[in-house]
Structure 1
Amino acid sequence: MEDFKTIKVTKGIKSLAIDNPTAYPLIGMGSQGAVFKLSDEKCVKIYTDSIQAKMEAEALKAGQHFPFFPKLFDTGPNYIVMEYFNAPTLKEYLRNSTYIPESITRKLLTILREMKKAKFTMLDAPLRHIFVLENEVLKVVDHVNAFKRIHPVPLKLLRDLNIILLKDSFLSRVKQLEPETYQLWDNYFKDNRFDYKNIPVTSGGSGKGVKVESSVTQPLIGKGHQGAVYRIAEDQCVKIYGKPEHCKQEKDVLLSNQHLSFIPKVHETGSNYVRMEYLLGPNLNQYLKKQSHLSEDITRRLLNILLTMKEAGFKQIDAPLRHIFVTNQGFKLVDHVYSFSREQDRPIELFQNLHERGFLDTFLEHVNKIDPYTHAQWTKTPIPLVKEEDMIGIEFNQNQPKSKRPKKRKKMRDQKK
């Protein structure tokens, strides 16, 4: 049998970096670690931080008497071997439902009640961490913060139910089944009424993403170096910035270009936030992962955005795939903090993204056919690209002391991001 202890999981710049020399498949990944299937009965979670491994091991040991906890088989300095569930998550189980079953509501209330009796402080679980086995048996995973974070009400559970339009149905059943619990939750939300203008978001420092409060009940739908985005209504979201200057920079771009079809509509702005339309649909990176080829139509849309940006006076001419959303109103481009301040005449990050998807050559062929002049401008000097295997090394090296980092390759110097 292969040794799962040879699997290495480390923090990357944007996601975890995984070195898996075994045949054990990756079945899940989060902020703390990655999960691999060992057999039909077992899986192993390997952590990037030994402290978090210890925290979850303690929580699992404390909850082994609960029928809704996974069985614990083994623990180590950076891993936990536990029960594997070949079952849908509650989010998948409730997909397309118009109401939440009373049986599910009763079981969720029982889970929350039992965790409270056991002195857990995190009385909460997002839908993706709850598995639905046969006969609607529920199992809850990911207990790293069970004794660390304080959620006296199920903030993440209610947030997720709100996204799939089942929050009102759930609360209605809670009010009927446990009126005292409902009143407790209602009082909590009245005392902590949501005001998006005062969501705490702070800068994480140079090269780090912003820091957000886990107690905020609104769905966090995006987080980067400049700000965090929360969904506050079915058709609206708000971006809260860690630094006022970043807010001003992006606000100037958005407000002066509302006439452009690919710019999100802005509803309100403040010194540290922008409230804008919520973009319903996948980003282009997610969309292209499911495509076997790049259509000329997509190239035309991307080219139109880039050329329009240039004509409108944008200085940073780029459109990373993750920043482009495919909506029923066409492509929408987000994240414009540096659009007026950074000089970049070629879409380097877009080139890199398309290269990673295997579509760059096709994209450039389309551009040459549609607009030979732009193609000539973009290709008159070599396009700086990084191999995907090198990107893992770059992510790893960013976490090392500067004295231990290898020198960056010359071809990386032209990249602006």
Structure 2
Amino acid sequence: MNEDKSYYIQLNSKVEKMLRTSEFLGAGHNGIVYLLPNKRVIKIFKDKKVCSGEYNIFVKTRKSKYFPNVYEHGEYYIVRDYAGGQRLDKYIKKHGINEVISLNIIKLIEEFTKLKFNRLDIRCKDLYLMDDFSINVIDPKNNYSKNVNYPRHLMKGLNNLGVIDEFLSVVSEKRPKTYKLWSFKFNQYLEKNIK
């Protein structure tokens, strides 16, 4: 939770009206998110460049089932679908990981490739798991501007949750070529960063 209150953003009266009937959901590095009565959310950003970057990703991913629809945006805000379900990391802490979740994560990263993302990575906390184990992305960042050719942050999160071996076992079984790259790169990362 970001406690920095040293910034001020001027919002138009339409956005202010939306906020009057909204419910606070959370805050992070880039802004604050509120649930609107129509099961949409409004995210208010601190930095209009970050807002523009996230909006552009949503525009380019509008036909993907993994990303929310966007209904409105301004310099400092985006109104989009609410992602229900449970945060992936919180779910795994409570229930562990299974083959279906692992396979859906693999398919998500494959979707990133189809969307021509340069950054094939995302954090566990930016993924929401639905009751049927489908996955929603809530907070895409730098997917077209940074180059990362495997899900490093995601695998680091799974490692910290103690389920990386189960996940990689499914990758090995279902996508052997992908397994070779991901396991090699992640082991390199661990050797470099855990000394």
What TM-score bracket applies, with the shorter chain setting the length?
Answer: 0.7 to 0.9
Aligned to 2:163: 166
The answer to whether the Cα contact below 8 Å between 2:101 and 2:134 also exists between their aligned partners in 1 is no
Displacement of 1:23 after TM fit? 4.7
Q: How does 1:320-359 map to 2 (within 5 A)?
A: none
The separation in 1 between residues aligned to 2:159 and 2:183, in whole angstroms, is 15
Q: How does 1:60-75 map to 2 (within 5 A)?
A: 60-75=58-73
The one of 177, 185, 191 equivalent to 1:188 is 185
The separation in 2 between residues aligned to 1:22 and 1:39, in whole angstroms, is 10
The one of 15, 19, 44 equivalent to 2:3 is 15
Displacement of 1:40 after TM fit? 4.6
Aligned to 1:308: none
Aligned to 1:139: 136
Displacement of 1:25 after TM fit? 2.3
User: Is the radius of gyration larger for structure 1 or structure 2?
Assistant: 1
The answer to whether the Cα contact below 8 Å between 2:44 and 2:78 also exists between their aligned partners in 1 is yes
Secondary structure in 2 matching 1:151: coil
Q: How does 1:200-349 map to 2 (within 5 A)?
A: 232=194
Gaps of 5+ in 2: 9-15
Q: How does 1:61-100 map to 2 (within 5 A)?
A: 61-98=59-96, 100=97
Q: What is the RMSD computed on CA atoms of the aligned residues? A: 2.2
Displacement of 1:153 after TM fit? 1.0
Q: How does 1:98-117 map to 2 (within 5 A)?
A: 98=96, 100-117=97-114
Displacement of 1:161 after TM fit? 0.9
The one of 46, 49, 68 equivalent to 2:47 is 49
Identity of aligned residues (%): 25
Compared with structure 1, are the counterparts of its residues 43 and 121 closer, same or farther at alpha carbon in structure 2 (3 Å cutoff)?
same
Secondary structure in 1 matching 2:33: strand
Aligned to 2:149: 152
2:130 maps to amino acid: L
Higher fraction of helix: 2
Displacement of 1:97 after TM fit? 3.2
1:78 maps to amino acid: Y
The separation in 2 between residues aligned to 1:156 and 1:134, in whole angstroms, is 24
The separation in 1 between residues aligned to 2:49 and 2:178, in whole angstroms, is 34
Displacement of 1:148 after TM fit? 1.9
1:16 maps to amino acid: D
By relative contact order (CA 8 Å, sep 6+), the higher-ranking structure is 2
The separation in 2 between residues aligned to 1:97 and 1:86, in whole angstroms, is 18
Aligned to 2:118: 121
Displacement of 1:190 after TM fit? 5.2
Compared with structure 1, are the counterparts of its residues 144 and 193 closer, same or farther at alpha carbon in structure 2 (3 Å cutoff)?
closer
1:166 maps to amino acid: V
The answer to whether the Cα contact below 8 Å between 1:123 and 1:154 also exists between their aligned partners in 2 is yes
**Alignment coverage as a number of residue pairs:** 184
The separation in 2 between residues aligned to 1:186 and 1:138, in whole angstroms, is 22
Secondary structure in 1 matching 2:94: coil
Compared with structure 1, are the counterparts of its residues 60 and 136 closer, same or farther at alpha carbon in structure 2 (3 Å cutoff)?
same
Deviation digits for residues 35-61 of structure 1 (CA, Å, limit 9, x no counterpart): 111125200111111111111111001
The separation in 1 between residues aligned to 2:105 and 2:173, in whole angstroms, is 14
Secondary structure in 2 matching 1:120: coil
Displacement of 1:111 after TM fit? 0.9
The answer to whether the Cα contact below 8 Å between 2:83 and 2:138 also exists between their aligned partners in 1 is no
The answer to whether the Cα contact below 8 Å between 1:88 and 1:131 also exists between their aligned partners in 2 is yes
TM-score, normalised via structure 2 length: 0.85
Aligned to 2:12: none
Displacement of 1:192 after TM fit? 4.8
The answer to whether the Cα contact below 8 Å between 2:126 and 2:140 also exists between their aligned partners in 1 is no
Displacement of 1:95 after TM fit? 2.1
The answer to whether the Cα contact below 8 Å between 1:46 and 1:80 also exists between their aligned partners in 2 is yes
The separation in 2 between residues aligned to 1:180 and 1:86, in whole angstroms, is 33
